[in-house]
Amino acid sequence: MIQIKPISAEETYAIRLEVLRKNISLPHKFKGDFDKETFHLGAYLNGELVGIATFMKNENSLFNGNQYQLRGMATLEKVRGLGAGKKIMVDAFTILKNKNVNYLWCNARVEAVPFYKKLGLQTLGNEFLIKQVGPHFIMYKKLQFKNN
């Protein structure tokens, strides 16, 4: 059974390197990893960390209100399709709603767009390229909490 737990920034690094930065000379440590508003979630299967995501308070001029950016979401290839990523996101939606966040947004790799769409995120604008990584879309979800 997959369990979601808060983790430290340092605990995300191995999976970021393996899945998101393999053979890419971009940093796996993100500016904002240690900001007090940032939180990291890990998915565990049989005690092993198999998925990660980082959520940081970051504004995008395309959205109004309280915003968070999803960064560095990844699951190990051997567990893809088992629901680890979905469980991370569902838990994050609850945490963000409790923080009265209006929008969660991300720069999603094209291959991840269908996954995010299943979770209710929408694309915004045109495809764009991030050097060394590939084509992306801005995606977002408007979060509903008690007061909106």
The string of DSSP letters for 50-95 reads: EEEEEEEE---TTS-SSEEEEEEEEE-GGGTTSSHHHHHHHHHHHH
Q: Give the model's confidence band at 128: pLDDT under 50 very low, under 70 low, under 90 confident, else very high.
A: confident
Token pair recorded at residue 7: 């983790």
Write down the mean pLDDT value for the chain. Answer: 91
Q: What is the pTM of this model?
A: 0.91
Question: Rg (Cα) of the chain, in Å, rounded?
Answer: 15
Domains and CATH numbers, the chain: 2-142 (3.40.630.30)
Q: Give per-residue pLDDT as tens, 2-42.
A: 999 999 999 999 999 888 777 666 667 789 999 999 999 99
